[in-house]
Amino acid sequence: MERLAEHPPWCERADCHTAGMHVSQPVSAGNANDLVGIEATLLRLDAHAMTLVQLALTDDDVTTVITVSGAQAEMLNQVLGKLLSA
């Protein structure tokens, strides 16, 4: 396995070399009254990899996990901003 880079500032620093990736603390993007629970986590797989955004969407105790690139997450942020401000 390729050697991991130094820890990014957001890394939890817990078993990175065993897991083969750097992982951030999950951040909740909502509250208890929302229809769907959303948690976002940052990932980096190796020294040369881009930062990925993992979204965990929970509805009725069923969780679906989607992983996108940081660039896709930024584009999604911009698109949602435009849609919500229209």
Domain spans, the chain? 16-85
Q: Give the N- to C-terminal CA distance of the chain in Å, as an integer.
A: 47
Average pLDDT, stretch 11-25?
Answer: 88
Q: With 90 as the cut, is the pLDDT of residue 79 above it?
A: yes
Give counts: helices (H), strands (E), the chain.
Answer: 2, 5
pLDDT value at position 1?
A: 45
Give dist(CA 40, CA 10) in Å, integer.
Answer: 13
Average pLDDT, stretch 8-36?
Answer: 89
Number of Cα atoms under 13 Å in the Cβ half of residue 43: 17
Q: pLDDT tens across 26-77, in order?
A: 999 888 888 999 999 999 987 777 899 999 999 998 999 999 999 999 999 9
Is 86:80 a contact under the CB 8 Å cutoff?
no
